[in-house]
Structures are given as C-alpha cells and as structure tokens.
C-alpha cells in the first residue's frame, strides 16, 4: 500500500522482498517493470534512434493520482500488498521507469490488478515523455492503444 515518485533508480528485489516480507497470506505476486526501450522513429525520410528521454511530471498531483489508482485497485480486488514506484527525470535506453507489484492470495487477482494499475497509470498519472533523437528533442504523443487498454477497466454506470 505504497506509492513513490522518485528520480533515483529502484532495486526490484529489495522492493519485492520488503513488500511481501512476513505476509504469509500472499500466494501470488504479479509484477511489472517498465523499461526505456531503444526505438526507431520515422521522421520524414529519416529513421531516428531514440537513445534517451526525459520524463516530466506534476509533483503533488502525480502522487495523488497514483494513490487514487491504487485505492481503486484495492476496491476491485482482494489484495494483500500493492506498490507503485515511478521515476522521473532523464532516462536512457535499458533504464527502469516504473515498478508495479501486487500481492494477493490468488494469482488471478494479482495479475488482473497489476495490469489494471499499469493501464491506468499510463492514462491517468501526469507524466510526459520527451525523447532525445539525433535530430533533436520530441514530445511523445499519447498512444491510442493506451486509451483502449485503460478503457477496458471502465465500469459501466
């Protein structure tokens, strides 16, 4: 039951050990680690390599948004432990960006809640990616697939 926004890298093993330590009701721990992927973007006739990016966020609002997303997951699934750690600042290809971990007595709930958290934080937490390409800096546009992924969790009213 914890949310952190930080510039520093995180230690996945230490985070997970701390999250589950002593809780013998957890049968399954589903985890997602987002990494900066080396990409090639088409820019006119050129294909540029993205080597690094800077992740900007909205201090204050970010933590609040992540806490609300986490609370929503806890309302929907029987969870024993949840953790979201999201980095900001300059990140290079191969660097970790985000860690989402969910522990539940049952693996189905852990997997579902983990996917839910990842989908929602992509569309509901105030982060913006600025990519560095050989041709210069470029703000990343929203990914249509992310909206679709987030929308599948919307409850019918």
Partner 1 sequence: MKVRYFAWMKRTVGVPEEDVAPPAEVATVGDLVVWLRHRSPGHAEALAEGAAFGAAVDQRTATFDVKLAGVREVAFFPPFTGG
User: Which contiguous run of DSSP H or E holds residue 146?
Assistant: helix 144-151
- Candidates 7, 9, 11, 147; binder of a copy of itself (CB under 8 A) is 11
Query: What is the 3-state secondary structure of 23-89?
Result: CCCCCEEEEEEEECCCEEEEECCEEEEECEEEEEECCCHHHHHHHHHHHHHHHHCCCCEEEEEEECE
Question: Minimum CB separation from partner 1 for residue 68, in Å?
Answer: 9
- Smallest gap, in angstroms, from Cβ of residue 141 to partner 1? 7
For tokens 């750690």, the residue is: 85
> For the chain, what is the largest distance between any 2 Cα atoms, rounded to a whole number of angstroms?
57
Q: Of 22, 44, 59, 141, which one interacts with a copy of itself (CB under 8 A)? A: 22
Query: For a copy of itself, which residue of 38, 43, 137, 147 counts as binding (CB under 8 A)?
Result: 38
Among 6, 7, 9, 35, binds a copy of itself (CB under 8 A): 35
**Tokens standing for 90?**
């300059």
Which region, judged by CB under 8 A, interacts with a copy of itself, from 19-27, 52-60, 62-70, 82-90? 19-27
Q: Which does 50 bind (CB under 5 to 8 A by kind): a copy of itself, partner 1, none?
A: none
């Amino acid at each position: 039951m914890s949310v952190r926004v930080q510039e520093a890298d995180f230690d996945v093993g230490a985070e997970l050990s701390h999250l589950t330590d002593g809780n013998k009701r957890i049968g399954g721990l589903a985890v997602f680690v987002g990494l900066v992927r080396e990409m090639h973007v088409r820019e006119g006739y050129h294909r540029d390599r993205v080597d690094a990016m800077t992740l900007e966020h909205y201090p204050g609002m970010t933590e609040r948004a992540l806490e609300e997303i986490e609370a929503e997951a806890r309302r929907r699934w029987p969870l024993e432990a949840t953790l979201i750690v999201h980095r900001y600042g300059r990140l290079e290809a191969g660097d970790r960006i985000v860690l989402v971990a969910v522990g539940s007595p049952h693996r189905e709930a852990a997997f579902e809640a983990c996917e839910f958290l990842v989908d929602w934080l992509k569309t509901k937490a105030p982060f913006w990616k600025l990519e560095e390409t050989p041709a210069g800096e470029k703000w990343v546009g929203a990914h249509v697939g992310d909206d679709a992924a987030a929308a599948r969790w919307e409850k019918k009213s």
